Structure 1
Amino acid sequence: SKANLKGKQTIPSSNKLASDAKFPVRPFNLRKSLTNVSPLFATPVSLGMLAIGVAEGNYRVYIKQGILYVEQTANYFGHTDPGNLSWGEVVTNYGPCSDQGRSGGDIAIAEKLCLQRAVSALPTHLVDLHTAGIDPNLDVEALLNTADLYNQASPIHSRRLPQALAIARQGGLSGVEAVAWARTASFYLNSNRELDLEQGENKASGLIGICARENLSITEWQCVHRDQLRRAKAISDVLKKYIQIAQLEERA
């Protein structure tokens, strides 16, 4: 059954938590929150876009002699989207976010469109995270993963991610493991497009198609989870590097 795909972790059912969870009420001001987090997507090399770019495989970020370096990979300048191939569509991505060909190959336009699209979704991400009991002003990792999932998949999945992340954490998961579980769970939707691990269908057709082409003998959950874990780890690594540099600058 789909419920068994959740693995050995003891996680409460999504339906139960959705109705029973008593989230703490925190002061929330959308305008102030937008002011706080918008700088994450101010430039192609701001933290938010770096997180998405590294998760996509379009950036490499590293520290050398106390300096944070950003390197564009070959993917940045054009690569075929592997997910779209799952339904026979050939799309060439450009820029930090893999732009689904919207830029027509103009890198400057690709960078601009990536930033515009990421910023346009921030109000929704902030409200959804707050509604799920996650403070988007403090939990940068949750916000970055929500933004990355919005970039990767249909918007409905990033809408469901905050709820899934709250479920994962209440079920005892933490850190990257909670994020990867939640990102995977967000693809399981019922006919009402609600998060539903018991009766929902895995909607990650692009990822499932990749696993099929690679002849991997794994479940749909495992197929999606391996990709979401990779992306969650990539984002966590970028965030840790940023924090490391900030701490070095404070000591200087």
Structure 2
Amino acid sequence: MQGQAQKLQQRATAAGIDMTLLEQLNGIDLANQAPLAALGAPGYAELLSQARQKGLSGTQAVLWARVQSYWDPNRNRWAAPGLGNTESGITHDQNRRLSAIARALDLYQQQVAAGKIPQAKERKVAFLPTAERVADDIIFQDLI
């Protein structure tokens, strides 16, 4: 997943966008769910850029990019058999996943603000190699 996250970041940079943490997490989740949807052509980063150009922002932009990532332009149809190959089925699933990520991120940020989780390195941990991530988890664990 680290490689996928790096590819997403490179593509976002190439598309001229700086992804928010919510956008990054959704891109990583999408790459985990369906690598071709996230990293195909066009992929999540390019579609997120298009969403912003359409005037969408925040969760609306993320949802649009996630859903559109399942469109196969070569075949001119949806490419998500596990989600019913329908826009409504894809939208329902992607909204469910987006909402879960938004809730988890919101809870995490509340805990950081309350001092329950150290704020240091909060954006970098997801991209660290496994050994470093485990070390950070142990070092910054709240044992009280």
Fold-level similarity (TM above 0.5)? yes
Alignment counterpart, residue 76 of structure 2, candidates 163, 183, 200: 200
**1:226, CA displacement in angstroms?**
0.9
Aligned to 1:157: 37
Summarize deviations over 1:174-215 as a string: whole Å, max 9, x none. Answer: 221211111000111222xxxxxxx73210111117xxxxxx
Q: Which amino acid aligns with 2:30?
A: L
**1:247, CA displacement in angstroms?**
1.1
What does 1:12-51 align with in structure 2 at a 5 Å threshold? Answer: none
Looking at secondary structure, tell me which structure has more helix per residue: 2
Query: Structure 1: 5+ residue runs without aligned partners?
Result: 1-117, 192-198, 210-219
- Distance (whole Å) between structure 2 residues aligned to residue 238 and residue 143 of structure 1: 14
Summarize deviations over 1:148-180 as a string: whole Å, max 9, x none. Answer: 011111x22112111111111221222212111
**1:134, CA displacement in angstroms?**
2.1
What does 1:49-68 align with in structure 2 at a 5 Å threshold? Answer: none
Give the alignment's Cα RMSD to 1 decimal: 1.8
Aligned to 2:132: none
Q: Which amino acid aligns with 1:174?
A: S
Alignment counterpart, residue 145 of structure 1, candidates 9, 12, 26: 26
- Distance (whole Å) between structure 1 residues aligned to residue 112 and residue 90 of structure 2: 33
SS of 2:97's equivalent in the other structure is helix
The reply on whether 1:239 has 2:105 as its aligned counterpart is yes
Q: Which amino acid aligns with 1:127?
A: Q
SS of 1:249's equivalent in the other structure is coil
Q: Which amino acid aligns with 1:203?
A: A
Aligned to 1:122: 5
Q: How many aligned residue pairs are there?
A: 113
Aligned to 1:172: 55
- Distance (whole Å) between structure 2 residues aligned to residue 203 and residue 125 of structure 1: 20
Aligned to 1:131: 14
Query: Structure 2: 5+ residue runs without aligned partners?
Result: 117-144
Q: Could you say which structure has the greater relative contact order, defined with CA pairs below 8 angstroms and 6 or more residues apart?
A: 1
- Distance (whole Å) between structure 2 residues aligned to residue 122 and residue 180 of structure 1: 18
- Distance (whole Å) between structure 1 residues aligned to residue 17 and residue 111 of structure 2: 26
**1:120, CA displacement in angstroms?**
2.8
Looking at secondary structure, tell me which structure has more strand per residue: 1
Identical-residue share of aligned pairs (%): 34
- Distance (whole Å) between structure 2 residues aligned to residue 134 and residue 248 of structure 1: 31
The TM-score with structure 1 as length reference comes to 0.42
Aligned to 2:94: 228
